[in-house]
Structures are given as structure tokens and as C-alpha cells.
Amino acid sequence: MLEAQALKYAESGILMDLSSFYKDGSVTPKLESNKFVSPDGKLLGYSVANEIILLHYNKTMFDEAKLPYPPAETEKAWTWDQMLEVARKLTKDKNGKNPTEAGFDAKNIVQYGINVSHGQDFFWTPFAISNGGGEVSQDGKQLLLDKPETIEAIQKIADLSNVEHVSPTAAQSSGLPGDVGQLLLSKKVAMVTSGQWELININPQLSKGLKNGIGVLPIFKKPATTNTGTPIVIYKSTKHVKETVELYKWLMNTEKNLANIDSGVWMPAEASWYTDADKIKRWTQSPVHPPEYKTAVIDYALKATYPTPWFFLPTYSRIGDIPQSGT
């Protein structure tokens, strides 16, 4: 079921409470950040896979510019200003000048330092949360969209394109390669903030010479990323409860999903896969997972994840209508 639909369906009372399957140990424990819970406390399910927002980058572009790679540890994250300084150095116009140099031509940029993905709220909310704002509080009781800290973070993101000229505008992005793998390989952009799932798009580009890296997101006041993940649910109306529950247990078993994990499109949602050394090794052995993956993704997910509100707020899908109504 789509993430945004789970709690709305629960309001109608048509989804089964799955608490008992986790309490009796018949389904292995999942990450708390991936739990869909109704306002009255019913466990509707967990994500079949976890995903967090990260900083993907082209290592070759950093090597050529003689710049250090983005930090891969939560505690060493760049500040926003540190990221901006690096993004300026990685941005070039048609004459090879960057925004810090006299004569830089902002109308003819051939290489951008960074691109902040858009299209879903969870792409920009990590920065708002890092700054002390966000969309709603983690208890779902307070709207944060009008907080000065939220507004400041959104403005900083917009300024990357409109003021700093280190990131493509929406119009400029339309002329760039479609997915993150192609974008990084093309060297049109050095860094991209997007989901961990982009590794499945990066994977085919490795054989073409792409050296991919992953860093933690830059911060304002504290480390923050957001997560998402499609839930597996069970309808109360099923006439085959035993068989449905058996299928549910099979689908939620990480061992059955290793192909998707190896490809880079999924992260496990099972808690032990983030702490057990043998499981982590099995998870990260494919070439698309770079050497820094353990600290930049696994540890980062445990230390800095703020669940997207559709895990706990039935009305979350309506929040997106608020900013759009003003455009």
C-alpha cells in the first residue's frame, strides 16, 4: 500500500492490527522509524524496506577539483555554509569560471555543484528539521510550516539556484539527464541529495566509469534525514487469514528480499540488519555500496532519522496542499 494511504485506510477501520505478530516473535523486530501506527495505537504494519535521504556524489569530480569528499559520518557532517563553499568550487560556466571568480556567467553554466531533489516533501524536510523546523512535530500535534526555522531552510534551498547559482533551477533541470546515475556520470552535477534507492540507477553507470560516493546531509543545527518505505498491510475482510498472515511473514523476511537489497533499491527494515556485523557484510557486499556505506547510510539511519509524518499522521497528505495553494 502507498505510504500516504495507510493511515487514511485505517481511519475507515478496514485494516488489521498486526501487533500480536510482533509481540509473539513470529515476525522479527523492525525499525521503529518504519512503524505505521494509527492515532488510537493500532499497529498497521511496517515498511517492507527502509529508505533515507542522502548525499550522492561523483568521486572523480572531487578528485579532479582536489577537494575532500563529503563527510560520511553523522558527527562530521558539513554545515550548510561548508557545503555551499564546496558547491561553489564545483560549479563552472562555459569558460571554466566558478561563482567566486570575476566574470562568472550565471546564464551559461555547464556544471553544477549540487542538486537538491524535489517532488516529495521528504527531500527538503531534513534541512528544515535540522534547522529546528519541519512540517509537523514528531507527535503530530503541531504544524511547523510557518516557523521561521522552516522558512529559512526552504529559502536557503531556493537560494542555491536563484542566488548562489550552484544548483539548477526546475527549468534548467528539465534539460539534464533523467536519473541520478546518469546525472552524476554526465558530470553535469557533482552532488545530488536524494534517496538511498538511487543506487539502483547508479549501479548501471559503474561499468561506464562512475565512481560513486555517499555522504551524510549538510546540517544547520543538528544532523537530520527523513525516511520512507511502503508498508505491507492486511485487510480485516480477508477470508483467508491464515494464508494471508503466512504471506505477510514471508514478505517481511529480509532474507527473501536480498536481491532488492543487493541491487541498491532497498534497505532492510529489520532492526538486526543495522547492528549485526555478519548481516551488514551480506547487505553491503555488492559493488554499488561504496566503502563508506556503513557510516554514511547504516549508522546515519540509526542516529539521525526523523520519520516522514505519513507514518503517524492520517491527514499528512493534505499538508502538501498548503504550500502549493500559494503558488
Residue 255, domain member (yes or no):
yes
Q: Are residue 75 and residue 217 in the same domain, yes or no?
A: yes
Q: Are residue 19 and residue 74 in the same domain, yes or no?
A: no
Q: Are residue 223 and residue 233 in the same domain, yes or no?
A: no
187 backbone φψ class: left, alpha, beta (φ>0; ψ -120 to 50): left
Helix (H, G, I), strand (E, B), or coil: what is residue 55? strand
Identify whether the C-beta of residue 140 lies closer than 8 Å to the C-beta of residue 318: no
Q: Are residue 185 and residue 235 in the same domain, yes or no?
A: no
Q: Are residue 90 and residue 195 in the same domain, yes or no?
A: yes
Pick the last residue of a domain from 185, 206, 227: 227
Decide the pairing of beta strands 92-93 and 109-116. Answer: antiparallel
Count structural domains, the chain. Answer: 2
| Structural domain that includes position 101 | 52-227
Q: Are residue 110 and residue 25 in the same domain, yes or no?
A: no
**What is the mean predicted confidence (pLDDT) over 170-194?**
92
**What is the mean predicted confidence (pLDDT) over 150-174?**
94
State how far the Cα of 51 lies from the Cα of 103, in Å rounded to an integer: 42
State how far the Cα of 49 lies from the Cα of 262, in Å rounded to an integer: 13
Q: At 184, give phi and psi (nearest 5°).
A: -70, -40
Residue 222, domain member (yes or no):
yes
CA R_g for the chain: 21
Looking at 54-68, 81-95, 166-180, 213-227, which range is the least confident one? 166-180
Q: Are residue 62 and residue 152 in the same domain, yes or no?
A: yes
Pick the last residue of a domain from 198, 227, 256: 227
**pLDDT tens string 56-77:** 999 999 999 999 999 999 999 9
**pLDDT tens string 287-305:** 999 999 999 999 999 999 9
Position 142 confidence tier, pLDDT thresholds 50, 70, 90: very high
